[in-house]
Structure 1
Amino acid sequence: MTYISAQPVLTNDWDDICYPVNPVWLTDLLPDYDIIATDRQQLIVGEPLRGRKTIFGIQSADYAIIPNVWIREVIDKVFGENYTVQIKHTSTGEFSISIILSDGFSIGSESLQRSMILTNSYNGKTPLTIQGQTFTTMASEGNKPGTSMYRAICQNGLMGWADSFGKLPDYQHWLEDKPKTKDKKQPVKGTQELRKIHHSRLTPELFQSQLYEMLVGQKKARPTLTATIYEHLQQRTMTKADEGMLRKLPIPVQLAKQAQERLRLEERILGASPSYWLMYNAVNHALFNARSSLTLNDRYKLDERVFHQLAASSFA
């Protein structure tokens, strides 16, 4: 099935995504019918501001909505007033939420701010993630989220894709062996048990207490491997041999063209020579600002692939 084309909308106001959303059961709507399709039991209905009631998806009985307001309440509890928010959301019910903090560091002549990126959706297409890791995986394995960076020049939220490796030699070794391995992450253990806890028995109190425990450690800045990779990409200037690299990256052709235009624009704005750093940011900008049938989840997957591919090329 072709997914509806959508363009992410930018906002800095929680209220734009914290509208009411609730399940509507098919048995309540159709009391005179026997519902045989047990994998589709409830409609996910939201009421966007100034909009009509919207059906974002039809889900199974054990699917639980995580309203954005639950996330907002935890963020406020963890960070208080010491953050700003940047949100990219679509008309199809997907949300990328960047929590931008005051501390950061410099890449070349640019100043970046530390941030946290969470994704959520009401259509079931984009799972709840924190820094690219699903909430259920983190709860199951006891993982702590990494950090990301916010780049003001293009309003890019840059995910900490390398943070889970810890040390640079480990990451470089994985890049070298990447064609032989399917994924850097280990299989999730106890998935069915996890589903019972986080879906059929999900409550605001349980969800918010777990999310709080995951995020409370992010109040203090700490060195990250991804920041080291960003520095390396910035120092790696592009040569003539690299000029065709954009066409070889795992992104749609039209997005590659938009990334090329963005790259040239930033070169002029910054008065800088083209680098792997600017190329990565140009792709990130195209992925998260263009109209496309890609879901937000798909866009983040492509962003991660591009990051690793450019990192591998930069170390070659």
Structure 2
Amino acid sequence: MTYISAQPQLTNSWDDICYPVQPVWLTDLLPDYDIVATDRQQLIVGQVKGGRNTIFGIQSADYSIIPNAVIREVVDALIPQYSLLIKYTPTGEFNINIVLPEVFMLGGEPLQRCLILTNSYNGKTPFSIQGQSLMALLDPMVALRSSMFRKLCQNGLLGWADHFDQVSSYQTWLGQWSGESAKGRSSKNRPAENRSDRPGPAIRKIHHSQLTIEVFRQHLHNLLVDHLKPELTLTTTVYSQLQQTEIPGRPNEIVRELPIPVQLAKQAYERLRTEEQLLHTGPSLWLLYNAVNYALFTSRSSLTLNDRYRLDERVFHHLATRAYA
């Protein structure tokens, strides 16, 4: 199904995405009609600030909305000091970067730890933390990934190697990953440590449709508490390897090989050249990864935010394969 083309908008205010949202039942809206499409029973309606009521999607009768205002409540209660960068689309998708004070230096450039949360009111992008769904994270065998925020490109970085403890293990996996079809590629998780208090296999019986706001609030609180313990993971080591790997020859040849749409590749190449000028440096795989990240999250595209996340991580592994070759 073709999806509406949208360009993410930028804000640093919760108020721009924390407007009221609620279900409106089709039976209430159309009392004189018999509705036989039982898989679609409620409209998801948001009262967008300064605009008309907006219908973001039509969902099943047991679909539960996660209001952005609830996410804000949990974040504010847990984190006394943070900065905020949100990218959202008019179609009801939200990319929320909670930027923490901790700083990690990479080649003279400061990066900050951050939490990346996604949500949507159109059902296209499920709620996630660091690219993993809430249901997946409630499994004690899954560890929450870590993310970094780069001020120059104004976005959190979405490639991860956290599920490996050693570079050698990651390199072995990259060899297997690069030999698989793009459709079959996926990242595995290493078991989470010291999280026995989280639900066990029974959590598989819980679905998004059965998620109440109270249950969601408690689970989100517990997961964020886990992640706020400062630690660096293997991902930062991979960042350093990318930063130290210069691009030989013509960068546009490498850009053309990237597993992203042609138009986004062109925009990534333009951004790469811009960053070279801004930083007075030559091209590296680190700058290229960030250029792709920038293109993915600033460009108009029919890709959902979830699609953009997947492409960002795929590019991360693709470039890491080159860096460790």
Which residue of the partner structure matches residue 308 of structure 1?
317
Which residue of the partner structure matches residue 27 of structure 1?
27
Q: For residue 48 of structure 2, give the secondary structure of its aligned residue in structure 1.
A: coil
Distance 1:283 1:190 in 2: 39
Q: For residue 46 of structure 1, give the secondary structure of its aligned residue in structure 2.
A: strand
Distance 2:156 2:257 in 1: 23
Contact 2:159 2:316 in 1 (8 A): no
Per-residue deviation, 1:236: 0.3
Q: For residue 293 of structure 2, give the secondary structure of its aligned residue in structure 1.
A: helix
Tell me how large the CA RMSD over aligned residues is: 1.8
Which residue of the partner structure matches residue 115 of structure 2?
116
Which residue of the partner structure matches residue 183 of structure 1?
186
Question: What TM-score does the superposition give when structure 1 sets the normalisation length?
Answer: 0.94
Distance 1:216 1:103 in 2: 16
Following superposition of structure 1 onto structure 2, how do residues 248-267 of structure 1 map, counting pairs within 5 Å?
248-267=257-276
Q: For residue 77 of structure 2, give the secondary structure of its aligned residue in structure 1.
A: helix
Q: Which moved more, 1:28-37 or 1:263-272?
A: 28-37
Contact 2:159 2:317 in 1 (8 A): no
Distance 2:136 2:16 in 1: 28
Which residue of the partner structure matches residue 234 of structure 1?
243
Contact 2:159 2:312 in 1 (8 A): no
Distance 2:165 2:126 in 1: 25
Q: For residue 173 of structure 2, give the secondary structure of its aligned residue in structure 1.
A: helix
Point out where structure 1 has 5 or more consecutive residues left out of the alignment.
Answer: none
Cα distance per residue 1:232-255 (max 9 Å; x no partner): 000000101654011111111111
Which residue of the partner structure matches residue 194 of structure 1?
206
Which residue of the partner structure matches residue 49 of structure 1?
49
State how many pairs are aligned: 311
Q: 2:254 is aligned with what amino acid?
A: M
Distance 2:173 2:314 in 1: 13
Contact 2:97 2:155 in 1 (8 A): no
Task: Summarize the Cα distance change of 1:182–1:191 in structure 2 as closer, same or farther, 3 Å threshold.
Answer: farther
2:294 counterpart of 1:285:
yes
Which residue of the partner structure matches residue 303 of structure 2?
294
Per-residue deviation, 1:310: 0.5
Q: For residue 61 of structure 1, give the secondary structure of its aligned residue in structure 2.
A: coil
Task: Summarize the Cα distance change of 1:21–1:291 in structure 2 as closer, same or farther, 3 Å threshold.
Answer: same
Identity of aligned residues (%): 58
Distance 1:108 1:40 in 2: 52
Q: 1:63 is aligned with what amino acid?
A: Y
Per-residue deviation, 1:161: 1.5
